[in-house]
Structure 1
């Protein structure tokens, strides 16, 4: 059980990542099929809004290190996620289709910026505080928040699948606002003293291999994004019932939360490069499966395989960043997150480019999924050999 001094840090990290990633980054995935169903969105516009979110995430990752106090960036990020999510509820009321298109793209881009700030700053603040209390092993637990947030958004979309999508955005925005308020309280009482002491007492940064970490993290972003973006849409193509296709995303999120909890509980001493390598190997299988065998069972298996590994890889990568730069991991975490964002931008753009070459959507996804599988396997082999 965490001590009273570090309990707010762990709880704050869990809630922060649930809001920033589960809602700010990923809520659009289960809601996009419902918005298309409601007639407020088409597939092409949905892809453009998703791309805007990825670009915003890249901008946020590139600017997150500018916050001298990571808690300030965390708070700004979470408030921004809540505001942009609430604003998405009003997109359907805009009479002009062109204005609606630009408003939606702008809100998704802003949500990407805010969620990147929150992820980078939450990781920097939580991991540094836990290290100060010699409780680094608890750092893995904060990343269960991402899966919990994804599962929450997915379950809300699944249970409310017969509601208008606008109402679901409103409900998620209120949940995000509550989460931002909670994290504000958790982080307010955290120690402000000791930043200079940590910088003076921490071991020197190990710059060897930092570039390789950035490259591998970017490859991970490219590899996971095809199933992470298109799984609910794949499921919807196989069945029109939202109570069936809507299960893909809750499964994804629950698998993410449980897998991180399992690693935090039973694999504390396992080298993080090996944890990351194994996670990417299973992710590669999950990426390839629904493209090779399009069926509901393969989509469900992919949700479990990719959902059960992408946050393990995230956790392991960011813990390696902390180990490589103990005094202040935020700049390295920001560079890795920027590489990840660039990789995930490349995934949908590749699908779109193949589609523009008159390749059917399914073929475009298959070719992109094959490339993602090769990239994931290649980096997994490298990580295992370097462990």
Structure 2
């Protein structure tokens, strides 16, 4: 073990790079994407842009995220991971400041696109720059801590952003920029200096691993499709669909945010102890039950509990998927490439699902149940894909045992 690895293996020094990763996910995804949601009404009320343009401008971040997921590895090949990650955090910071002055729709779209690109690059590079320095038995928890930033961003969208909005829309963007700058500065020297080769770990057979990766891509895409509907329409469903009003919707979103905060760490911890594959199976099953509660119950207490579970899902599945990649694929380069492709799969279906749900909502004249049913079907298919893989592996083992 190298001196650098020994230092990072120390618990105290380990948290410095994890802090850097958390700050990156908080700035690049947590704030850059989710802080926009509570800004939508304010942008319309302030007449910065027409209502239709505000939704279109919001989609720019999702499009940029897909571009960033594709560009992450090529950028890292040209410059170092750390240089690219620092640059992306600064770009998000600049985008916040730039959005404080809406020069035109093109100007605003460009900067929202830039923030999305930065988020996609950060998703591809942040954890893979840190986890090789972490002992294998602690990587799930470490990746959960890194992606805790996404959950904190979701929580901030329901707490910090409304507080900033009380001082005006322009000051809100400036405040987000100042926060992003502070987080970028605090994490600047926290990134690991060297790229280490992860120690070899037990993996499945080549055939099983190849099939497992394909199934993971499908599952991750279906998870993306499943999480979008509650993320987009849960608050509106409670506020208007159930007649609970703005305060009821705000309470549900707060609970969703609490789930988003605890999700990554809990999911990562579970992955360390039961394995990524088993963890994914149980998480999908629990998520399916929570979505069922949205469809069947109108009780706010039940819906509140379901919201915590559903909120844990968007940031929580990231460390699970990453742990599964490490379980299936040997070698750091191959793992990084596979993770990049998984992120592209997720980003593509997330963007497609966003537009598809909007179209369904309009065509069904506001039928929330239809949206949640489609989301549940996506999660159910992801679970069936896992069970089919499990059944296939069991059948192959029984056949081999019979032949022996």
Determine if contact 1:153/1:172 at 8 Å carries over to the other structure.
Answer: no
Summarize deviations over 1:78-119 as a string: whole Å, max 9, x none. Answer: 11111112222222xx4xxxx33x333322222111111111
Match of 1:33 in 2: 41
* Structure 1 equivalent of residue 337 of structure 2: 331
Change (3 A) 1:76 1:359: same
Q: Residue deviations 1:32-76, cap 9 Å, x none?
A: 234344444555333322322211111111111111232233222
Do structure 1's residue 349 and structure 2's residue 337 form an aligned pair?
no
Q: Is the 8 A contact 2:72 2:125 kept in 1?
A: yes
TM-score (norm 1): 0.83
Q: Is structure 2 residue 127 aligned with structure 1 residue 127?
A: no
Q: Of 373, 376, 382, which aligns to 1:373?
A: 376
CA apart distance, 1:219: 0.9
Pairwise CA distance, 1:286? 4.1
Residues 112-136 of structure 1, C-alpha deviation per residue, up to 9 Å, x if partnerless? Answer: 11111111110211222225x8753
In structure 1, distance between residues paired with 2:17 and 2:175: 26
**Partner in structure 1 of residue 88 of structure 2:** 77
- How far, CA to CA, are the matches of 2:294 and 2:375 in structure 1? 13
Using the TM superposition, give the Cα deviation of residue 228 of structure 1 relative to its aligned residue in structure 2, in angstroms: 1.5
- Taking the TM superposition and a 5 Å limit, the aligned residue runs for 1:164-243 are 164-187=168-191, 190-192=192-194, 195=196, 198=197, 206-235=209-238, 237=240, 238=243, 241=246
Cα shift at 1:267? 5.7
Moved more, 148-157 or 213-222: 148-157
Give 2:346's aligned residue: 340
1:229-263 Cα shifts (integer Å, max 9, x gaps): 2334445545665x664444443232122133334
The unaligned stretches of length 5 or more in structure 2 are: 1-8, 391-404
How far apart, in 1, do the equivalents of 2:299 and 2:116 lie? Answer: 31
Q: Equivalents in 2 of 1:173, 1:379: separation in Å?
A: 38
Cα-Cα RMSD: 3.0
Contact 2:215 2:386 survives alignment (8 Å): no
Please give the alpha-carbon distance, in whole angstroms, between the structure 2 residues aligned to 1:355 and 1:134.
44
Cα pair 2:93 2:177 within 8 Å, conserved: yes
Q: Residues 373, 78 of structure 1: CA spacing in aligned structure 2 closer, same or farther, 3 A cutoff?
A: same
The whole-number CA distance in structure 2 between the counterparts of 1:289 and 1:144 is 26
Q: Which runs of 5+ in 1 are unaligned?
A: none
Residue 18 (structure 1) aligns with:
26
Show the counterpart of 2:152.
148
Question: Greater Rg, structure 1 or structure 2?
Answer: 2
- Is 285-294 or 104-113 further displaced after alignment? 285-294
- 1:107 aligns with 111
Aligned-pair distance for 1:282? Answer: 3.2
CA separation in 2, counterparts of 1:202 and 1:281? 28
State the distance in 1 between where 2:45 and 2:263 align: 32
Call closer, same or farther: CA 1:247–1:103 in 2, change over 3 Å.
farther
